[in-house]
Structure 1
Amino acid sequence: MKKELKRIIHCILYILISYSSIAVNIERGSVNGVITDKKTKEPLMGATVQLDNSPYGTAANLNGEYSIDNIKPGVYTITVRYISYKTVTLNNIKIEKGKKILLDIEMEDASLDLQGVVVMAQRRLNTDLSVLNTVKNSLPVMSGISHQQISKTQDSDASEVLRRIPGITIVDDRFVIIRGLAQRYNNVWLNNATTPSSEADSRAFSFDVLPSSLIDNMMVYKSMSAEFPADFTGGFVSILTQNTAVDNQVSFQYGTSFITGTTFSNIRLLDGYKCDYIGFGAGKRSLPTNTPSDLRVIPIQDAVDFTKKINGKWGINSFTAIPDQKFSFSLQHKFELENWKLSNISAVNYSTGYNAYNNMQNNRYQSYRDGASQYDNKYIDNVYKNTTKLGALFNWLLFSDKNKFEFRNFFNQRGTTALTQREGHDYYSDIAVRYWESFYTARTTYSSQLSGEHKLKEDINKMAWVIGYAYAGYNEPDRRVINSKLNENREIDRYYVDDAKKYYQKLHDNSFSLSANYEHRFNASEYFSSILKAGIYGEYKGRKFNARQFQYNLLGDGYSRYTDWDYSNLFDENNIGKDRIYLIDKTEKCDSYTSDNLLGAAYVSADFNYSDKLNTNIGIRAEYYNLKIDGYSTDGLTPVNIDQKNMDIFPSVNIAYHLTDKNLFRVAYGRSVNRPEFREIVPYVYYNFDVFANISGNIDLKKAYINNYDLRYEFYPTAGETVSFGLFYKDFKNPIEQTYHEAGSGVQYTYHNADRAVCYGIELDIKKNLSFLGMKDFNFIFNGAYIYSRIYFPEGAFERNRPMQGQSPYLINTGMFYQNDKAGWSASILYNVIGKRIETVGIPKQNPNDDIPDVYEMPRNMLDFSISKKIGKYVEIKGGIVDLLNTKVVYKQFLKITEGESTHTVEQLVKSYRPGMQINLGVSVKF
């Protein structure tokens, strides 16, 4: 009986949907709209719309939209049906010639039990309406973006997508700053499991490794809740990759990009290897397995032989850059089983492209003296890069009416080869210099999760669990740095090589996580219900870091050290010998370390729902944290063994009060923690060529604790529209920041704790359809934030109170989307700007006039435009321009000089370059 009833329902649905193919050729009247769940406002894909006693009918699309054209004028009864929902009947609907009627329809869950009918449907979270509904019904303060909105932009990876979310900015094209707080104050989970950091010098998930086409949705939680890890303050970013196949589908995308200043211009890179084309070039450049542990304890001839063995390629390949290339292929497939549904999404993506930054100004300054800025270094850089990404996704979903199992896998390999030519004056030594750096970096990211959700008893209790593994590898083999000086005292007015070094470093991060969550619903009465939540979480992260440093010993005669950017003649194998050139070891014990941390957590929370008006979540989370590090101090002699253990309690409260179905207020409080990362504690010293300085850790670094407060008003005029206004306040104890100080002939970066800090601001988010202006197919978005922060230092300290590092005082994202599904056209224009923010903390002096000021990244206006056209059922062509204005990236210092009773501000240009306007063209085929 059950199977027969299912067949009858499927047959009825097929007949109803098939009516949508019957049309009258003469243009008459039409009706269209959106069908949504009355309570959740989610679109109801597949809901059928039928004009009774007529051949006119259709079914709603993925977004719940329907349209029936060419209807003969008359008065009709319209019936809307969807399995497990109450049928909606609309009487006396008048259709007039040449007029279009807009009918948005809300449907309610059926109260009657459909005996013998099993409805299996997987809730989709990749549409604008579903994300907006999730945001509305969430108790924690949050924002999000759907795959549907991502597809309307030219954003190529997750870092570009995040810029569209209120309160978020991006640093170095891949690190996230939320509410003005640097990446160290944010946490990232991929598919409900932890992500390791592939960065050797910071705690950060590199968002540029995740292609935007693979993202189902991105949610950013901004207030604390017991279910979330306590180690976030700015925001908790949850990314879900696609896992639900809508239909059996194969798709292929190809895209190309032209970048002004790069494409068809001259590129200079060291000769590479074939495997560079797929991002796996590190292996060819790595140290051999039989590398001596210390060149200082082996005979010189063995060191010479080793030098020849790893000498590598020195030839410069000069060529014309071709346009960037991007390819992707995906396969979606559904399998119908007896009582289950199985779905698979598999995808492969590849991209390669070039960047050239010519005539980049790059300066550093001493203290201001004698009425003028005093240079420390004044350089012009020419930077050339090639970046290749190879990625894959392999996700499975198996579900029934009560159980769901997911198996998600994501892999990305990113290889970058780069060459920097720096020329200018070193004022500390008062000599003209040239610096040259060539490197190849490989970043490997793999993430895998097995998860399950189980309804133990319908609408009463359920359980969910996740087992996760993640790997992040960073390999920087054979980084070469060469320093040359202008020989001003000899007859030949040319640059000669004064110093040459080789660096090798490897990082391996392995992360394991396990979580289990339980929910139980209590329905005390029609007006009061509660949900009890409890769960456990365990996480282990292990890191192994190794580095080797070598310096070329330049001895004897018989070869020339004079050269102009090409060093192949100098380091030719014929010049390598114990009386000429060979490598000496500069590696110390502090150049390697091992570390791990264990995090164990348990939480309990409760949602209290008072009718439909007041919803409250109260929770408490306990976290045990154990950090271990084994290494050596910077002297290379003293062992450093750290074993820190602590237990913390983190309370949280989230309250939502619904004035009406469309208006609500939120209030939230939560306590969070910011723990030092591996790299920030170990005393390993690394030379960063970009900032001309060493970076080291601080073993005395302490945890930071933060109290977080939120107040927010939200208004939802219609489905798909929102207006929200929020206030937030954060109070920090022992905030952690990166600073730098003078060390010998240069500066050195490290990490330290300030005394306290505050950060507060306002946020505004608007999404509005412009049909009230007669522009039905247009949608306007705006999100902006104003943020104030202040770091406070103990009285008497040299440091002066200032904004937090990386914090922007304001940010604006706005734009307009055009979507005409019937004509197949879509377009968008998007604008983004952020206020100036501290990129590098300065060096305070006893006399403020002698300060080395903070370095600020200046505001930069960005304008993106995109357009696409669907051709038939299977083909879509996209084009657009990224960074249409191509304004300069500028870093400046601002020094307040007091002379007598007057004060004036001196501006100093630190860095300046144009990244280039990017013109994109692509085609996608789906069938």
Structure 2
Amino acid sequence: MFRSIFFFIAVFSGFSSRAQFNLSGKVTDKEFKTLPFVTVKISAPQNKVFYTQTDSLGTYQFKLPSGKYSVVFSAINFKGVSRLVTITGDTIIDLQLQRIPVILADVQVNAKKALIEKKIDRTVFNVENSVSAIGTDVLELLSKVPGVRVLNDKVSLVGKGEVNVMINDKLVPLSDDELSNYLKSISSGNIAKIEVITNPPAKYDAQGNNGLINIVLKKVTAEGFRGSVNTIFSQATHATTSVGGNLSYRKNKITLSSNFNVRKGSLVPFEQSNVFYPTQTWNIVNKDRNFRTVPSGQIGIDYQASPKTVLGLSYNGGLTNFHSEENIKTTVYNRTNGLDSVLNSDANAKIRSHYHSANVYLKQALDFTGKQLIINGDWFKYSDNKNRFFNNTSYSQNGEVIPNSFAEYLSTSKQNIDLYTLKADVDLPYKTFKLSFGTKLSFIKNQSDLAFYKVRNAVYGLDPAQTNLFNYQENTQALYVNFSKTIKQWDFQVGLRGEYTQIDGVSVNEQNRNEYFRLFPTFYIVYRANDKSTFALNYGRRINRPAYRKLNPFRWYSNQFAYTEGNPFLQPSYNNNIEISHTYNNVFTTTLSFSHTTNGFNDVNFIDAGTNIQVAKPVNFITGYHYQFSNAVTFNVLKCLESINQVDVFYNTSNSSITQTLSNLNGFGVYFSTLNQFVFNPSKTILGEASFWYQFPAVDGLNQNKNQYNLDMGIKTLLLNKKIQLAITATDVLKTNQYRFNSLVNNIRQEYNNYYDNRQLRITFRYNFGNEKIKQQDRKPGNEEERRRSN
């Protein structure tokens, strides 16, 4: 019997020793964030070793027989942990790993991007490597980018005209004045790079004949809390001050960012013109002082819902309080250049405007090879309330008031713009090619309420003939596809975008309805002949829809004889652009480009010699041809000096379809610019800058522009381990950045000489604070893809 009992015990023990049990658990960091790809090593008796890794949720699992084991957990940038465990049944070991701190002093980055990079579809200006990024705002920084001009706070490309501006791939839908205020509110210290895209790929809206400028903000990459404060004092004719800052916080799955800026001050622009009528010459001098108070702010949040999913929400808003005090003096001369009469007008304008913009997006990774889906929904609202009061008094040649010549007027306008967009983009990178496609829906509604009053006996009487309610709606549906591939030394990229637009505009009981479908092809070819020499060819078709302000029939009177108004029936223009370029060793870049414009529109100052009425109004009348040859050279052989130089030679031909203007105007133009950055000490904390550009006489549409030039200088220093930036800069030192041009309308010659108070001395202080620790595993936030045309 004892033998039988012993036999059953031995058999049962054998079965028990061969039984398998679960060893499982979850690995997180000290903040309870799951850790994937942690190596788990199991050492068993008889030198048996087993390995596994935690999955995307940080969990692991083994099947083991009973016994004693050594378990070791290890991961890059974390301290290893070992455990001794005896398995007699299912066992769970949950563990927290401690991150190894990274000391900045031990991290040294030797790689440095070139200041200027040429890519297949754009030119990149790496702001982080530029002295120009210290102590300036974004609008001034744009004027230092090769090939970009900023004139009267309007951004344009050399020889080509105004260009649309994007922030982080999102078109900024603001008027010229609001856009300049917005760009001035952003410190250049927040900018990573500026991309000049003369022929945008199909992914971008086809809007904008001259291409796009994309301003890329720095990403929040530091764990914890960071921020900066800055203040700017500018002295032109009068002073302007600006105070602002930004804050960011990143913890686990959440990234918060915000900035705020308020600017207050005044400028004194000066405008002078001469109009040569058949029997008289009118000399008009507009002395103006305008005041602005501009607060603005932005806040955004990103949430990493899962390793493959990012959700984001942002809001951006601003307010402008503007008022001006003007005196417009018109001196009338007779045939013999003797004084005939004087018309004096005192005016003041009050404008209050505000905008709100909100974006929500989803970025969904489809796998771990870069395939992704990005969905964006956007809302934008802009409102303004304009009131312009002016009076007129006429004086005879002996200085006496002409009887019954005194008159008072009031012109008012209220405008509301609502814009909604929904956009989806899919990126599919494969081993041998990359495919992307997407769609966009946009819905625009613009309402304007206009009125004009004449004061009689201190009572404002409405003029029905100059009162108007303007309603405008525009809806667009777009689809695009883009394909790119590399074959040895060749890079190819081809895209096609289709946009279907419906327009409905009503003004003074007139209705303008239109709908059209247009295709916009693009292609790019790059050939890398060797390590130093690269050739590129690209083509693109673009559309330029009128800005909303150009559609608004509001009249802005200078005096009773001169006013500016919009055209509610303005149509879009179209451009075909071709570029051929060669880059050598990232030092020399030569570009030859051509563009053809059809149905182009521009402002024309229509003048009636019989009534002396001057009406500035945008109309479609231009067929244009533009040829440009550009050469850029970057010198950085000296450690203490980096110099970027560019020469552009262009030839413009403009043909007019209206009888009031010249039928044809053509001519050459030359533009030269040089940007020089100096380093005065080995620690690179005392820096200097000098930039200069010169524009030779040129043809712009049907205007003949005279020469102008500009010199900027500055010195900058970095203190307190480069946390403090102090800069003193002087712009337009020689006071030569004057906009002078002439034109011929109805055989009446017009000459203009304008100066916009550009000479300024600026003192900038910026202090950076917060956590400087570098986060090891950075995720890229979803790109904002809202693209809307500026109004």
TM-score (normalizing by structure 1)? 0.66
Amino acid at match of 2:579: D
What is the aligned partner in structure 2 of residue 181 from structure 1? Answer: 160
Q: Which of the numbers 255, 259, 264 marks the counterpart of 1:352? A: 264
Q: Which of the numbers 692, 699, 714 marks the counterpart of 1:831? A: 692
Q: Work out the CA distance in 2 between the residues paired with 1:215 and 1:384.
A: 32
Q: Which of the numbers 510, 522, 540 marks the counterpart of 1:652? A: 522
Q: Which of the numbers 228, 231, 240 marks the counterpart of 1:254? A: 231
Sequence identity percentage:
15
Q: Which of the numbers 664, 688, 697 marks the counterpart of 1:801? A: 664
Tell me, yes or no, if structure 1 residue 211 matches structure 2 residue 183.
no
| Preserved CA contact (<8 Å) 1:405 1:453 | yes
Shift, 1:244, TM fit: 1.6
- Is the partner of 2:146 in helix, strand or coil? coil
- Is the partner of 2:664 in helix, strand or coil? coil
- Is the partner of 1:762 in helix, strand or coil? strand
Q: Work out the CA distance in 1 between the residues paired with 2:403 and 2:633.
A: 58
Tell me, yes or no, if structure 1 residue 532 matches structure 2 residue 435.
yes
Tell me, yes or no, if structure 1 residue 728 matches structure 2 residue 593.
yes
Tell me, yes or no, if structure 1 residue 415 matches structure 2 residue 321.
yes
Q: Which of the numbers 328, 334, 344 marks the counterpart of 2:250? A: 334
Q: Work out the CA distance in 2 between the residues paired with 1:437 and 1:661.
A: 63
Tell me, yes or no, if structure 1 residue 549 matches structure 2 residue 452.
yes
Q: Work out the CA distance in 1 between the residues paired with 2:179 and 2:759.
A: 27
Q: Work out the CA distance in 1 between the residues paired with 2:704 and 2:740.
A: 6
Task: Give the CA RMSD over aligned residues.
Answer: 3.7
Shift, 1:650, TM fit: 1.6
Q: Work out the CA distance in 1 between the residues paired with 2:595 and 2:208.
A: 12
- Is the partner of 1:161 in helix, strand or coil? helix
Amino acid at match of 1:745: N
Q: Work out the CA distance in 2 between the residues paired with 1:913 and 1:755.
A: 27
**1:208-607 equivalence runs, <5 A:** 208=183, 210-213=185-188, 214-246=190-222, 248-259=225-236, 262-263=237-238, 323-335=239-251, 337=252, 340=253, 342-356=254-268, 360=270, 362-367=272-277, 375-376=281-282, 378-399=283-304, 402-427=308-333, 430-459=340-369, 461-477=371-387, 479-486=388-395, 498-523=406-431, 529-553=432-456, 580-588=457-465, 591-607=468-484
CA displacement, residues 600-635 of structure 1 (integer Å, 9 cap, x when unaligned) = 110112112113x11101111111011111111xxx
Q: Work out the CA distance in 1 between the residues paired with 2:219 and 2:355.
A: 19
Q: Work out the CA distance in 1 between the residues paired with 2:330 and 2:448.
A: 34
Amino acid at match of 1:545: S
CA displacement, residues 645-700 of structure 1 (integer Å, 9 cap, x when unaligned) = 11111211111112234432111112222234455456x35134299633344566
Seen in structure 2, the aligned counterparts of structure 1 residues 230 and 455 have a Cα distance that, compared at 3 Å, is same
What is the aligned partner in structure 1 of residue 172 from structure 2? Answer: 195
Q: Work out the CA distance in 2 between the residues paired with 1:512 and 1:364.
A: 44
What are the ranges of 5 or more consecutive residues in structure 1 without an aligned counterpart?
A: 22-57, 66-103, 105-127, 264-322, 524-528, 554-579, 633-638, 842-853, 899-905
What is the aligned partner in structure 1 of residue 676 from structure 2? Answer: 815
Tell me, yes or no, if structure 1 residue 669 matches structure 2 residue 539.
yes
Q: Work out the CA distance in 2 between the residues paired with 1:883 and 1:671.
A: 36
Shift, 1:912, TM fit: 5.0
Shift, 1:732, TM fit: 2.0
| Preserved CA contact (<8 Å) 2:158 2:671 | no
Shift, 1:367, TM fit: 4.5
Amino acid at match of 2:690: I
Q: Work out the CA distance in 2 between the residues paired with 1:644 and 1:728.
A: 33
| Preserved CA contact (<8 Å) 1:415 1:441 | yes
CA displacement, residues 564-601 of structure 1 (integer Å, 9 cap, x when unaligned) = xxxxxxxxxxxxxxxx4211112447522011111111
Higher strand share: 2
Shift, 1:466, TM fit: 1.9
Q: Work out the CA distance in 1 between the residues paired with 2:127 and 2:705.
A: 33
Shift, 1:913, TM fit: 4.7
CA displacement, residues 342-389 of structure 1 (integer Å, 9 cap, x when unaligned) = 3222211112122235xx5623222578xxxx522x244432222222
CA displacement, residues 689-724 of structure 1 (integer Å, 9 cap, x when unaligned) = 29963334456644433221111122345xxxx432
Shift, 1:734, TM fit: 2.2
Seen in structure 2, the aligned counterparts of structure 1 residues 495 and 238 have a Cα distance that, compared at 3 Å, is farther
Query: Which of the pair has the greater relative contact order for Cα pairs under 8 Å at 6+ separation?
Result: 2
| Preserved CA contact (<8 Å) 1:487 1:495 | no
Seen in structure 2, the aligned counterparts of structure 1 residues 687 and 920 have a Cα distance that, compared at 3 Å, is closer
Amino acid at match of 2:146: P
Amino acid at match of 1:232: G
- Is the partner of 2:130 in helix, strand or coil? helix
Shift, 1:177, TM fit: 1.9
| Preserved CA contact (<8 Å) 1:161 1:212 | no
| Preserved CA contact (<8 Å) 1:361 1:910 | yes
**1:137-148 equivalence runs, <5 A:** 138-146=119-127
Tell me, yes or no, if structure 1 residue 626 matches structure 2 residue 502.
yes
Seen in structure 2, the aligned counterparts of structure 1 residues 893 and 677 have a Cα distance that, compared at 3 Å, is closer
What are the ranges of 5 or more consecutive residues in structure 2 without an aligned counterpart?
A: 1-26, 28-36, 40-72, 81-97, 770-791
Tell me, yes or no, if structure 1 residue 615 matches structure 2 residue 663.
no
**1:163-178 equivalence runs, <5 A:** 163-173=143-153, 175-178=154-157
- Is the partner of 2:733 in helix, strand or coil? coil
CA displacement, residues 226-257 of structure 1 (integer Å, 9 cap, x when unaligned) = 21212222112223444425352232222222
Q: Work out the CA distance in 2 between the residues paired with 1:410 and 1:150.
A: 28
Tell me, yes or no, if structure 1 residue 921 matches structure 2 residue 763.
yes
Q: Work out the CA distance in 2 between the residues paired with 1:606 and 1:438.
A: 55
- Is the partner of 1:645 in helix, strand or coil? strand
Shift, 1:907, TM fit: 11
Amino acid at match of 1:597: E
Seen in structure 2, the aligned counterparts of structure 1 residues 731 and 913 have a Cα distance that, compared at 3 Å, is closer
| Preserved CA contact (<8 Å) 1:147 1:215 | yes
What is the aligned partner in structure 2 of residue 561 from structure 1? Answer: none
Q: Which of the numbers 572, 578, 602 marks the counterpart of 1:737? A: 602
- Tell which structure's C-alpha radius of gyration is larger: 2
Q: Work out the CA distance in 1 between the residues paired with 2:417 and 2:129.
A: 33
What is the aligned partner in structure 2 of residue 59 from structure 1? Answer: 107
**1:658-737 equivalence runs, <5 A:** 658-680=528-550, 684=553, 686-689=555-558, 693-698=562-567, 701-717=570-586, 722-737=587-602
Shift, 1:752, TM fit: 2.9
Seen in structure 2, the aligned counterparts of structure 1 residues 166 and 616 have a Cα distance that, compared at 3 Å, is same
Seen in structure 2, the aligned counterparts of structure 1 residues 327 and 677 have a Cα distance that, compared at 3 Å, is closer
Q: Which of the numbers 103, 107, 113 marks the counterpart of 1:129? A: 113
Q: Work out the CA distance in 2 between the residues paired with 1:877 and 1:365.
A: 47
Amino acid at match of 1:327: V
Q: Work out the CA distance in 2 between the residues paired with 1:649 and 1:538.
A: 16
Amino acid at match of 2:257: I
Q: Work out the CA distance in 2 between the residues paired with 1:661 and 1:542.
A: 52
Q: Work out the CA distance in 2 between the residues paired with 1:468 and 1:836.
A: 43
| Preserved CA contact (<8 Å) 1:515 1:537 | yes
| Preserved CA contact (<8 Å) 1:825 1:870 | no
Tell me, yes or no, if structure 1 residue 856 matches structure 2 residue 684.
no
Range 5-14 or range 729-738, more displaced: 5-14
CA displacement, residues 190-243 of structure 1 (integer Å, 9 cap, x when unaligned) = 34334334369xx98876454234544432211142212122221122234444
- Is the partner of 1:434 in helix, strand or coil? strand
Q: Work out the CA distance in 1 between the residues paired with 2:150 and 2:722.
A: 36
Seen in structure 2, the aligned counterparts of structure 1 residues 691 and 714 have a Cα distance that, compared at 3 Å, is farther
| Preserved CA contact (<8 Å) 2:424 2:440 | yes
